[in-house]
Amino acid sequence: QAAGDMFRRFVRRARAAEPSLNAYVDLAKEEEEDGPTGPVTGLLGGVPLGAKASFCVEGTVSDACSDVLDRYRPPYTATAPARLLESGCRLVGKHNQDEFAMGAANLYSAAGPAVNPHSPGLLDARHKAILTPGGSSGGSAAAVAAGSCLVALGSDTGGSVRLPAAYCGVVGLKPTYGRLSRHGLIAFASSLDTPGVLARCVADAALALDAAAGTDPLDDTTVRQSRIAPEALPTRADIARMLDSPAGQPVSVSSAAAAAPGAFSPALVHARRPTAAGRSAAGPDAPLPEGLRAAIAGKRVGILAECHVAELPEAALRSWQEGARWLEDAGAVVVPVSVPEVRTALPAYYVLAPAEAASNLSRFDGVRYGLRAEGAAPAEGEGDAAGRSTGGLERMYTATRSEGFGPEVQRRILAGNFVLSAEAKSSYYDAAVAARRALRLAMEGLFGQGGVDLVLTPTAPDMPADITAAVKAGQSSGAAVADPLAQYLGDVMTVAANLADLPAVSVPVGMTELSGSGASLPTGLQLMAARQDERTLLHAAAVLE
């Protein structure tokens, strides 16, 4: 099948879903749909790709959904999307997100809220509720779930790939820090920012990881990769195992999509897991591929006590227990573990991330890119001895930043500058740095000699919130968020992996009924592995999906 046909089909589907999902801020044009029509080649040949608006891609809207960047179109392409495009992927478009990736519900976007394709209000006339897709990579998760792209690039600073993946029922992979280059990803908190992959199944995520990973001279933090054992990445044979491909040959995502066009339903949601108990389309009793069983046998899986928070819904707890049992059935050894340092992860994150953000975002000053607001004219008599205005530039900076940054971004900048200030630094910033160091050491201990190979937790502590009012009002940049601090709690399961540089993945494990409503929503479980051990991580993830 020609690449052009498949690409056109996905672009058409993206367009058709836009009025209800608002997942894209830039979509491929008609002419591009008539692009190359030759046969697809390579494992990722012709695969429809989407990328969060935070990734610079030449000529496309790359504004991190902020008014301060005002639909900026960069003259170059970030390393991660460039590598996927070189591997044969084709860009369907750029995805909606929280402004500068700060948020967990995609409500803080200059482009307005994105919508979860599993919203009962979209799927069933008896329901009204429109739900958040999660954030900050909300548009990416919604697009993959709705089948308008097969692979998407998101970014995960504190959970922004994993949380929306869980809410939308797709796979969300945050690799080890340094595995994927940050070059060309608009910065939020540089020591935590990790490009990640959203896909419909674990094998697709592994293929995309394989194509995008590698040392990049333009991001020195990827230099560590040369010291990473290459066998830590899944191999082609591993990917074949995950797909249970009969010939032992990896099947490319594009050939699967091309061979079975009907497999991607025209409905918004591709229902791969129709029942709560269903492990896969093949049914709950389908035997696990032997190769996968061998890869996971004897691995030790820790059940992290600190994630057993009081707020955890009953259904999430049940999925957690069920997931542990599936891993055990596959031959893994499940053990309870406790890492008290995890309790300080959330507060430490909300000191460190804003501190780094305050510094990174100082470059948006109205001089170099996007928006420039002039501010009020200098008052009479202002100026230096020679009568030259001294306040104009300062005024322009202030006006640009006040107008261009949304309320959440302003909150982070203020918090970040406060924790870095002389009077607060030792009690906030230094304390958070110490907490991060303690957490990293504790995690090293947990995954070290005689410890565990994997940790299993829920991905989200709650169900996706109802955003009907915000969507109806067409509100942008979070005008409708009543309690911004409450949103921070949604990251409680995910931030530890970022602070400790660990690879982590959210895997959809089934549908959970929304209490008594008859509507059901996806549930995700999170796996973490030792630093740089994506291979074990993805094998275990494939057992769960």
Which residues does the annotation mark as catalytic? 52, 136, 160
Residue 224: other Cβ atoms inside 10 A: 16
The residue among 156 and 219 lying less far from ligand GLN, judged by its C-beta, is 156
ω into 136 cis (within 30 of 0): yes
The residue among 215 and 221 lying less far from ligand GLN, judged by its C-beta, is 221
Contact 389, 383 (CB under 8 A): yes
The residue among 101 and 257 lying less far from ligand GLN, judged by its C-beta, is 101
Q: How far is the CB of 352 from ligand GLN (least distance, A)?
A: 10
Helices (H), 25-78: 30-33
The residue among 193 and 219 lying less far from ligand GLN, judged by its C-beta, is 193
Spell out the residues 6+ positions from residue 36 whose beta carbon is closer than 8 angstroms to its own: 3, 4
User: What Å distances lie between residue 337 and 61, 321, 334, 524, CA to CA?
Assistant: 45, 14, 10, 20
- Counts for the chain of helices (H) and strands (E), in that order: 19, 11
Q: Which residue is nearest to ligand GLN (CB)?
A: 160
Q: How far is the CB of 458 from ligand GLN (least distance, A)?
A: 16
In degrees rounded to 5, what are phi and psi of residue 337?
-135, 160
Q: How far is the CB of 136 from ligand GLN (least distance, A)?
A: 4
Give the three-class secondary structure for 332: coil
The amino acid that residue 91 corresponds to is L
Rounded to whole angstroms, the Cα distance separating 193 from 188 reads 7
Contact 155, 185 (CB under 8 A): yes
Contact 104, 134 (CB under 8 A): yes
**Residue 392 C-alpha from the chain's centroid:** 40
Tokens representing 48? 């429809």
User: What Å distances lie between residue 279 and 163, 194, 323, 385, 388, CA to CA?
Assistant: 20, 29, 10, 76, 72
Rounded to whole angstroms, the Cα distance separating 117 from 271 reads 11
What residue ranges bind ligand GLN (CB under 6 A)?
Answer: 101-104, 136, 155-160, 188, 353, 491
Q: How far is the CB of 479 from ligand GLN (least distance, A)?
A: 17
The residue among 182 and 273 lying less far from ligand GLN, judged by its C-beta, is 182
Rounded to whole angstroms, the Cα distance separating 198 from 221 reads 22
Residue 406 burial (CB < 10 Å; 0-12/13-18/19+)? buried
Q: How far is the CB of 140 from ligand GLN (least distance, A)?
A: 12
Contact 292, 330 (CB under 8 A): yes
Q: How far is the CB of 53 from ligand GLN (least distance, A)?
A: 13
Q: How far is the CB of 491 from ligand GLN (least distance, A)?
A: 5
Beta bridge partners of 466: 131
Tokens representing 142? 């919604």
Is beta strand 194-199 parallel, antiparallel or unpaired with respect to 171-174? antiparallel
The residue among 244 and 491 lying less far from ligand GLN, judged by its C-beta, is 491
Tokens representing 267? 């409905």
Q: How far is the CB of 332 from ligand GLN (least distance, A)?
A: 28
The residue among 357 and 471 lying less far from ligand GLN, judged by its C-beta, is 357
The residue among 157 and 457 lying less far from ligand GLN, judged by its C-beta, is 157
